[in-house]
Structure 1
Amino acid sequence: MNTSTKGRVPTGYAEETFLSEATFRAAHRSIEINPSSNPKKRKREGKGDPGSVFGASAYKGPWAKFEQEKPDAASDEEYGEDEEVEVVYEEDEIEEQPEAPASKLGTAYGDALGEKETSEFVGSQQYDYQGRTYMHVPTDLDINLRGDREGIKNFIPKKLLHNFKYHTKSITQLRFFPDSGHLLLSASADNKIALWDVYHDRELLRTFSGHTKSVNDIDFNPSGTQFLSASYDRYMKLWDTETGKCLNKFTSGKTPHVVRFNPSMPNEFLAGMSDKKILQYDVRSGDLVQEYDHHLGPVNTITFCDEDRRFITTSDDKSLRAWEYGIPVPIKFIAEPYMYSMVRSATHPSGKYAAFQSSDNQIVVYAASDRFRQNRKKSFRGHNVSGYAPDVAISPDGQFVASGDSGGYVCFWDWKTCKMWHKIQASDAPLLAVQWHPRETSKVITGDLNGAIKYWD
C-alpha cells in the first residue's frame, strides 16, 4: 500500500487501531449483561397538546427534548411517579412511536372527509309548465336532439357564439350530455363542477361543491343521469345530475387522473391512478372489483374499444397497454423507443381507431382492434403541447380532429389527409378542453387555463 495515503479518510487522518472481533464482542456483551455500570438518568419534557403547533404547550410527541441532566446520585424518588424517565447509554433507546392524535387542529391541512358535498340550483326556472326539470330533452328547437344521428355532416366552426362565465381557475374537462348534448358539464381547478344549459338562455343551471382540490376529470354514465368526478383530493365522487346529491365516494388513498364509465356496464367504472394502477369499481356497492397493475407510471388515459369488451390505457411510462375488461393481464403491450407519454385520447366514431395526444406535439393514431398497431400514416401535427395536456376530440361524423394548443388556439385537421384545415385563436391562455357537440353540425366547446368556456359555431 502507498504510505502517503495510508490512514487517510475523507474527514482527515486516522490512526489504524487493531481490535480483534472476539475482544469487541466480549466488551459489547458485558455492557448488555450489566447495563447499570454507568447509567445516565434523564427524563423527557412533556409531550404537549396535540391540538397546538406553536407556543410552550406545542405538541412534541416522541421528539420531545431531554431536560437538564440530573446528578448520578439522585434517586428515582426525585422524579415523580408519573414522569417519564429515560435511561440512556451511548445511544438513546428509540422510543416507541405513539398513536397519531385524533385531532388535526394543529395542522393547516383540511380533512378531506370533513368537506360536505353540496349542490345548488342557480337557474331561473327549475321546472317547466309540465313539471319537468332540465333533464328533459327540449323539443321546441329547430334541431331534433333525439333519434338517429345518421346523415350528420360536420363543418369547421368560424365564429364565437357564447361565453360561459362562472369558473375562476383553469378548465380541466368539458362533457356534453350523452346523445342529446342539451346540457354541458364543466370541471375546474377551482374545485367546482358546473352544469350549463346549451340551448335557450345558455345559463348556469347547477353547481356542485364537495372537492377540496382541483377536479381533474368528469364523466357521464351512458344515460346521463349520473356523473363521476375525480380530484386531486384523492376522492372520486358519484353525483346525481338532476338533484345534485352525492350518491357515493370512492378512494384508494392515491390521486385519480382519469375516470371512465363502462358504456355497456353503466354500474361499473375504471379509474387510472397516480400509483400506476387501474381500479375497477362497482357504483352500487362501492366495492373495488378488479385491479389492473402493470404500468410503470401514473395512468393518463382509458379508452374503451371493441364494443366495450376491451380497453386501452396509456401512462407516463411512455407505453400503451390493451386489456380484456375484467382480466388484469394485458393482452398487448407497446413501448417503442420513439414513443412519448400520451396524455389524452378520443375514439373514432367508426370504432376502428383511437387518437392520442402525444407529448411530442403530435396526435398519433392506433388501431382499436386485435393488433392495436400504430397507424404510421396518420399523424396530426402543427400544434404545440409543451407541458400541458390539451384534449383531443373527433367530430361525430369522423371527418375532423380537433385539439387544444398551449398558445390558445383550437386546431382542426382532416382525418383522411391529416392536413390542418384551420386554427382559431380561442384564448390568450393555453386551451385545455375541446369537445364537439354530438348533434350539431359545426358546434364546438372550448375551455382555457383562465376558466373561460367558449361556444363556437
Structure 2
Amino acid sequence: MSASRGSGRLPTGFAAETFISDSTFRQAHRAVDGGSGTNSKKRKRESKGDSSIVSGAGAYKGPWAKYEQVRPDAASDEEYGEDVEVEIVYEEDEIAPIPEAPKKLAGTDYRDTDAEGETSEFVGSQEFDYQGRTYMHVPNDLDIKLTGERGDIKNYHPKKLIHTFKYHQKAITQVRFFPNSGHLLLSASADSKIAIWDVYHQRELLRTYSGHTKSVNDIDFNPGGTQFISASYDRYMKLWDTETGKCLNKFTTGKTPHVVRINPSIPHEFLAGMSDKKILQYDTRSGEMVQEYDHHLGPVNTITFCDENRRFVTTSDDKSLRAWEYGIPVPIKFIAEPYMFSMVRSSPHPSGKYIAFQSSDNQIVVYSSTDRFRQNRKKSYRGHNVAGYAPDVAISPDGQIVSSGDSGGYVCFWDWKTCKMWHKIKAGDSPVLAVQWHPRETSKVITGDGEGRLQYWD
C-alpha cells in the first residue's frame, strides 16, 4: 500500500499482507531512506503509547503508530512531493492470546454421545452361581413361586418400609420389575445411569449401565426381559443386553424422546414419543425407523398398548388423547375436551379394558381401551398432589388397587371400584416419581423419589 504525499491521500482500512524478495525489499527501503549514502536518515516511528490510556496524549497507538516523514537533504520540497513515493509498512504487534474460558456444559448444550462410549460393570458379589448361571436365572429356592401362572392372588396395600436401595445420585425417573418373575429391578435416574438390582437374597446392586450423558427419561423391558430400551435427554435411545450390559443399538433423530415402549407382541419393534410431537416406530434389528405417527400438537407424554397390542393410545402436552392402529399413521380416535388437562403418565388395567392416566389437575382419570375409548366418568382418583411433576401411576396385578406418587413425598393407594383412598405413606420429603407393583407378591411396591432413593414397601 502506498500513499503519495503530494496528493494528500492517507492509507485507510487494513494492510494487506504481501510477500516480496529480499532484494526488492532492500531497493524499496533505500528509495524511502533516500539511498544508502551518508545522507540517508533512518525513519523513526512515534511511540506506541500506553495501553491503559484510551485517548488523548500518550494514548495507545500500537501497530498504528505513524512514521516521521524524512526526505533526502538534497531534495527540494517539490521534488519530494512529486517524485518520491513513501511506502508505509505496518508492523504487527504481538497480541497476547486470550485464554479460553473453562468449558462448562449449559443445560441446553449437547455433546455427541458417540464420543462417550457405552460401558457396563458387574458390581454384585458373585456373577455366576455354582451351576454357572447368571442373575438372569429365576431363583427357585424361595417360598414364593416366580414362574408359571400367577393364579388368583389378591393384592393388599403395603404398610411398612422393608428395604432401601441406594446408588443413584439424582432423582429416580422410572423403575421396572423383570417381566413375569419380578426377581430383578431395573432403575433409571437423572444422573444418566441405569442400574439393575437383586430383589431377593442380598438385595444388592448387580450391574450398572453407563452411556447416556444426560438424565434417562424412560426404560422398558422386552417381554422376555433379555433386553431393555432406554431414552434420555441426550436425544439418544439405546437398546441394551440385560445380562452382559452391551449396548446393542442406538437410535436418534436429534429430538428428545420422552417415552419408549417395546411392543409386547413384536419384541423387535418399539415406539418412541418425541419432543417434536411425533411418535416414531423403530425396528431394532435393522435400526431403521419404519413408521411415523404425526398428529399431536405438543410433545408426546405416554404410549399405552391395548387390544392385545394391536392398538395403542397416546397423550400429549396438547391436552388430547389419540388412539391408533399399530402400523397405521392415522388416529382412529381423537379426544380433546375443554376441561381436559395434559396427561403425563399412564398404566393399563390388568383386565385390558381400561387405561388409567395421571392428569395434571391432581387426579387420575380412566378411559376405556376398547372400541369407544371413552372416559369413565365414575372413576376419578383424587387426594394427591402432582404440582408440576409427573409421578407414575400403577395398578396392582389383580386390578383392585390404584397407586400413585405425590409431589409432597407420599405414596397414595385407592380402591379401584369405590375410588376411595385407602391411605397415604410418607416416603420422604422429595417427590415420589416412580411407583411399580411387584408382579408376583401380594403387597410389595417399589417407589423412587427425587433424592435417588429406591424404597421397597410391604
Aligned to 1:446: 447
Distance, in Å, in 1 between the alignment partners of 2:173 and 2:277 is 21
How big is each residue's C-alpha offset from its partner over 1:115-165, in whole Å with a ceiling of 9 and x where there is no partner? 110000000000000000000000000000000012111001011110001
Q: 1:106 to 1:427 in 2, by over 3 A?
A: closer
Aligned to 2:20: none
Runs of 4+ aligned structure 1 residues displaced above 3 Å come to: 40-46, 77-80, 105-110
Q: Is the Cα contact below 8 Å between 2:432 and 2:448 reproduced in 1?
A: yes
Distance, in Å, in 2 between the alignment partners of 1:356 and 1:176 is 20
**TM-score, structure 2 as length reference:** 0.78
Distance, in Å, in 2 between the alignment partners of 1:260 and 1:150 is 26
Alignment of 1:29-428 (within 5 A): 42=13, 108=105, 110-428=111-429
Distance, in Å, in 2 between the alignment partners of 1:255 and 1:137 is 35
Q: Percent identity?
A: 80
Distance, in Å, in 2 between the alignment partners of 1:157 and 1:174 is 18
Q: CA deviation at 1:427?
A: 1.2
Distance, in Å, in 1 between the alignment partners of 2:161 and 2:321 is 37
How big is each residue's C-alpha offset from its partner over 1:85-118, in whole Å with a ceiling of 9 and x where there is no partner? xxxxxxxxxxxxxxxxxxxx97855332211100
Distance, in Å, in 2 between the alignment partners of 1:44 and 1:416 is 85
**TM-score, structure 1 as length reference:** 0.78
Instruction: Letter of the 2:114 partner, please give it.
Output: L
Instruction: Letter of the 1:255 partner, please give it.
Output: T
Distance, in Å, in 1 between the alignment partners of 2:353 and 2:15 is 69
Give ranges in structure 2 of 5+ residues lacking alignment: 1-10, 18-62, 65-84, 91-101
Distance, in Å, in 1 between the alignment partners of 2:290 and 2:297 is 21
Q: Is the Cα contact below 8 Å between 2:113 and 2:211 reproduced in 1?
A: no
Q: Secondary structure, in 3 states, of the residue corresponding to 1:265?
A: coil
Q: 1:42 to 1:295 in 2, by over 3 A?
A: farther
Distance, in Å, in 1 between the alignment partners of 2:293 and 2:416 is 32
Distance, in Å, in 1 between the alignment partners of 2:275 and 2:115 is 23
Distance, in Å, in 1 between the alignment partners of 2:201 and 2:104 is 47
Aligned to 1:64: none
Q: CA deviation at 1:297?
A: 0.3
Q: 1:252 to 1:78 in 2, by over 3 A?
A: farther
Aligned to 1:32: none
Instruction: Letter of the 1:315 partner, please give it.
Output: S
Q: Secondary structure, in 3 states, of the residue corresponding to 2:357?
A: strand
Distance, in Å, in 2 between the alignment partners of 1:413 and 1:421 is 5
Instruction: Letter of the 2:455 partner, please give it.
Output: K
Distance, in Å, in 1 between the alignment partners of 2:402 and 2:15 is 68
Aligned-CA RMSD value: 2.2
Instruction: Letter of the 2:358 partner, please give it.
Output: Q
Q: 1:397 to 1:45 in 2, by over 3 A?
A: farther
Q: Secondary structure, in 3 states, of the residue corresponding to 2:267?
A: strand
Q: How many residues are matched? A: 368
